[in-house]
């Protein structure tokens, strides 16, 4: 990883750029230098050859222009030409050959060429034919050397071409000089590049070291650590950048601490809220959900991140897209199942940026099951009270209208009408009294005056009071223990409880029915049971008998003058004594009412 980091680092890029620029400069300088050097060497070589050739041509033309007798002219000229060529310096000339107009060699400095031999080279023939100098570079077939060849014509005073001078000079020494110079230049360039690369590394390190330190510090800051600072190495641009980076570090440290504090406060608020809170983005994907929302929805909040709000709240039938939600809109979502109701109120609000563009949604969830239940009970209560009052009032109005129309004169009908009116009035008075009692109990204005009472003897007295007025066909069986059990009760309120329970048992007992009363010690409390052999109550209606105005048999209850509030008052009074009341029943097999009362602890009794 370290190698890969170096090869991708800015330091290596600096070094590569520095070396490439140096290579470019060296290459340009080398190309120009070697080109000029080669040009100068060639010019010197050409000048040397030209001066030698001019001198040689001049001397040979003098030989041809001297006046001689016809008898010895050829021999004299050949010997003079041969002497001139033989005396010629051959330091830089390989071959010098002089031919006459018939291409016969009349002079040479080479042992490989014979005098009088015909020279048939094209370049020589072209010079003899056209009288113009020719030169060129060739490769010697015998030695494989590069040679320079020049042929100049020899012209007498009459302008006649009387011969040609063939000059051949080796170019190897010239090329060897150029190669040697190139080697020296290459070695110098390599040395310069090496030294420059070392200097480039040092220069690059001075530039990249502060940058590397700032990079490491940025990585540390990304992890939330703002305690370290970068070193400032100077007052240049990098030094100013380092100072600005340290200042940024300090500001970020302060901002991060502030954000963390606010985040902690927000997290604490969200965690301790009883309301559920769900935050989503503009697309409706969940980005945050507090614990309360997870509890209400029965899901792990972490598992809900990224899910669609419509799916989470099961709003597929109400919404097709999150954009349909309006600011501060709310709805009731039913999560009820077959066992129990469960209603949640969802209140939606939008989150907008500075440009008033929606960037997300906030949903607040409240469990309104109890509120809706209370509201429904209130509506049912009003409806039941209205119904219970309307029935006797309607009856009384009908009978009073009949009496007003003359029925009061009928001595047989009038008393019966008045009796019905009186009974309905008494029933309404009982209902109003029961409602007032329930209202006082709900508002804690119904005082409970408790005293220490031995419950078994007290229960015997209550039963005996009922036995005095029992129908002849109904009996009460007592299954009461012979022990004494002390309880802390309000005797008047508890008498009302037992009266309501036993009265209902008597009302619903068939002819010849038996009512069983039982008291059992359950260590910390007494369990009191009143069991009848009546028609029983359906299982799905069993829990409702303690609700206000609920009556299992409405016709019979109204016939007997019941208000439907007796068991509701009984439940309130039992719970006021820190007890619990419930019922068990099977249709056709009677009903059992159970309630509990706490026993007085022995230490408490001893202190009384």
- Note the pLDDT tens digit of each residue in 223-266: 777 777 877 777 777 778 888 888 888 888 888 788 888 878 87
pLDDT at residue 1 greater than cutoff 60: no
Closest alpha carbon to 506 in 591, 403, 582: 591
Give me the pLDDT at residue 530, please. 93
In DSSP terms, 275 is beta-bridged to: none
75 confidence band (pLDDT: 50, 70, 90): low
pLDDT exceeds cutoff 90 at 375: no
pLDDT in tens, 23-43: 788 778 878 877 887 788 778
Provide the pLDDT for residue 605.
47
Collapsing DSSP to helix, strand or coil, 368 comes out as: coil
Same domain, 461 and 571: yes
User: Does one domain contain both 461 and 435?
Assistant: no
Last residue of a domain, one of 419, 442, 465: 442
pLDDT digits (tens, 9 = 90+) for 503-524: 888 888 888 788 999 999 988 8
Over 70: is that where the pLDDT of 108 sits? yes
Is residue 4 assigned to a domain?
no
Residue 115 shares a structural domain with residue 231: no
Residue 397: per-residue pLDDT: 80
The two structure tokens encoding residue 554: 């409405």
285/249 same-domain check: no
Residue 383, pLDDT score: 66
Most confident of 5-9, 286-290, 419-423: 286-290
> Residue 282 domain-assigned?
yes
434-460: average pLDDT: 78
Report residue 561's pLDDT band, with 50, 70 and 90 as the boundaries.
very low
| 121-147 per-position pLDDT tens digit | 888 888 888 888 888 877 776 667 778
Helix (H) or strand (E) holding 502: helix 491-508
Question: So what's the pLDDT on residue 90?
Answer: 59
pLDDT in tens, 184-228: 878 887 887 788 778 777 777 777 777 777 778 788 777 777 777
pLDDT surpasses 90 at 554: no
325-350 pLDDT, tens digit per residue, is 766 677 888 877 767 788 888 888 88
Please give the structure tokens belonging to residue 217: 């510090």
Q: Are residues 394 and 534 in the same domain?
A: no
Q: Are 529 and 484 in contact (CB under 8 A)?
A: no
Q: Residue 564, exposed/middle/buried by CB under 10 A (0-12, 13-18, 19+)? A: buried
CA distance 472 to 504: 17
Inside any domain, residue 201: no
Whether residue 488 has pLDDT greater than 70: yes
Predicted local distance difference test score (pLDDT) of residue 382: 67
- If we measure between CA atoms, which residue out of 312, 351, 311 comes closest to residue 328? 351
State whether 500 and 553 are in the same domain.
yes
The mean pLDDT of the chain is 78
Out of 413, 442, 471, a domain closes at 442
Measured CA distances, 363 to 55, 289, 312, 313, 328 (Å)? 112, 10, 12, 10, 9
Instruction: Please give the C-alpha separations between residue 588 and each of 450, 505, 510, 526, in angstroms, as whole numbers.
Output: 38, 14, 11, 28
* Residue 137 confidence (pLDDT): 77
Is 212 inside any structural domain? no
Residue 397 sits in a domain whose CATH number is 1.10.287.130
> Averaged over 431-456, what is the pLDDT?
75
| Number of compact structural domains in the chain | 5
Q: What's the CATH code of the domain at 82?
A: 3.30.450.20
Confidence at residue 555, expressed as pLDDT on a 0 to 100 scale? 46
d(CA 602, CA 432): 42
Of residues 392 and 328, more confidence is placed in 392
- State the virtual CA torsion across 436, 441, 443, 444 in degrees, nearest 10: 140
Residues 142 and 59 in one domain: yes
Q: What is the pLDDT of residue 482?
A: 92
One domain for residues 474 and 601:
yes
* Residues 333 and 403 occupy one common structural domain: no
Q: What is the mean pLDDT of residues 284-301?
A: 85
According to the model, what pLDDT value does residue 398 have? 79
Whole-model pTM: value is: 0.41
**Domain assignment of residue 422, yes or no:** yes
Question: Domain for residue 169, yes or no?
Answer: yes
Query: What is d(CA 444, CA 103) in angstroms, rounded to the nearest whole number?
Result: 152
What pLDDT, on a 0 to 100 scale, did the predictor assign at position 3? 45
2 within domain boundaries? no
- Given a contact cutoff of 8 angstroms between Cβ atoms, the answer to whether 103 and 161 are in contact is no
Same domain, 249 and 277: no
- Break the chain down into helix, strand, coil percent, rounded to 5: 55, 20, 30
Mean pLDDT of all residues in 564-579:
84
Q: Which residue has the higher pLDDT, 406 or 501?
A: 501
Q: Tell me how far apart the alpha carbons of residues 180 and 249 are, in angstroms, rounded to a whole number.
A: 61
Range with top average pLDDT, 174-178, 301-305, 315-319, 469-473: 301-305
CATH code where residue 583 lies = 3.30.565.10
Q: Are residues 267 and 335 in the same domain?
A: no
From CA 161, how far away is CA 169, in angstroms rounded? Answer: 24
Token representation of residue 32 = 């120009």
Same domain, 461 and 592: yes
Domain extent for 156: 48-177
**Domain-terminating residue out of 422, 442, 462:** 442
- Has residue 311 been placed in a domain? yes
pLDDT above 70 coverage of the chain, percent? 84
């Amino acid at each position: 990883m370290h190698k890969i980091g170096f090869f991708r680092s800015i330091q290596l890029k600096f070094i590569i750029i520095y070396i490439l620029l140096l290579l470019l400069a060296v290459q340009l300088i080398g190309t120009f230098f070697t080109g000029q050097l080669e040009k100068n060497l060639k010019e010197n070589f050409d000048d040397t050859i030209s001066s030698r050739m001019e001198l040689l041509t001049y001397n040979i033309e003098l030989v041809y222009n001297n006046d001689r007798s016809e008898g010895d002219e050829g021999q004299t000229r050949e010997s003079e030409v041969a002497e001139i060529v033989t005396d010629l310096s051959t330091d830089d000339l390989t071959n010098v050959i002089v031919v006459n107009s018939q291409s016969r060699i009349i002079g040479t400095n080479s042992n490989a060429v014979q005098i009088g031999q015909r020279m048939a080279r094209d370049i020589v023939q072209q010079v003899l034919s056209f009288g113009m100098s020719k030169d060129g570079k060739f490769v010697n077939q015998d030695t494989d050397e590069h040679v320079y060849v020049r042929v100049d014509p020899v012209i007498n005073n009459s302008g006649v071409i009387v011969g040609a001078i063939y000059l051949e000079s080796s170019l190897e020494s010239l090329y060897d000089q150029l190669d040697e110079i190139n080697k020296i230049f290459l070695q110098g360039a390599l040395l310069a590049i090496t030294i420059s690369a070392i200097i480039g590394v040092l220069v690059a390190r001075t530039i990249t070291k502060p940058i590397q330190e700032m990079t490491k510090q940025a990585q540390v800051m990304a992890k939330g650590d703002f305690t370290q600072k970068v070193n400032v190495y100077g007052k240049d641009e990098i030094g100013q950048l380092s100072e600005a980076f340290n200042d940024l570090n300090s500001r970020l440290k302060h901002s991060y601490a502030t954000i963390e504090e606010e985040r902690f406060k927000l997290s604490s608020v969200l965690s301790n809220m009883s309301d559920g809170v769900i935050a989503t983005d503009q697309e409706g994907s969940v980005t945050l959900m507090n614990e309360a929302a997870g509890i209400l929805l029965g899901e792990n909040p972490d598992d809900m991140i990224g899910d669609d709000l419509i799916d989470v709240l099961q709003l597929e039938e109400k919404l097709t897209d999150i954009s349909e939600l309006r600011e501060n809109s709310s709805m009731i979502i039913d999560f009820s199942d077959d066992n129990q109701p469960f209603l949640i109120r969802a209140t939606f609000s939008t989150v907008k940026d500075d440009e008033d563009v929606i960037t997300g949604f906030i949903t607040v969830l409240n469990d309104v099951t109890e509120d809706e239940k209370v509201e429904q009970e209130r509506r049912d209560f009003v409806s039941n009270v209205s119904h219970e009052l309307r029935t006797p009032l309607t009856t009384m109005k009908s009978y009073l209208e009949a009496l007003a129309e003359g029925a009061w004169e009928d001595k047989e009908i009038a008393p019966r009408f008045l009796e019905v009116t009186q009974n309905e009035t008494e029933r309404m008075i009982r209902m109003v009294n029961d409602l007032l009692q329930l209202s006082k109990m709900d508002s804690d204005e119904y005082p409970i005056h408790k005293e220490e009472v031995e419950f078994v003897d007290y229960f015997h007295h209550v039963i005996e009071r009922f036995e005095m007025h029992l129908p002849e066909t109904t009996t009460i069986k007592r299954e009461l223990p012979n022990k004494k059990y002390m309880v802390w009760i309000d005797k008047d309120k508890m008498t009302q409880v037992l009266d309501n329970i036993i009265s209902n048992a008597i009302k619903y007992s068939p002819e010849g029915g038996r009512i069983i009363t039982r008291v059992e010690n359950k260590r910390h409390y007494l369990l009191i049971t009143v069991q009848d052999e009546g028609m029983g109550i359906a299982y799905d209606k069993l829990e409702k008998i303690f609700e206000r105005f609920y009556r299992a048999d409405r016709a019979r209850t109204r016939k007997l003058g019941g208000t439907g509030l007796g068991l509701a008052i009984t439940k309130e009074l039992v719970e006021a004594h820190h007890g619990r009341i419930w019922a068990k029943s099977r249709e056709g097999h009677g009903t059992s009412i159970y309630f509990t009362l706490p026993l007085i602890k022995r230490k408490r009794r001893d202190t009384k």
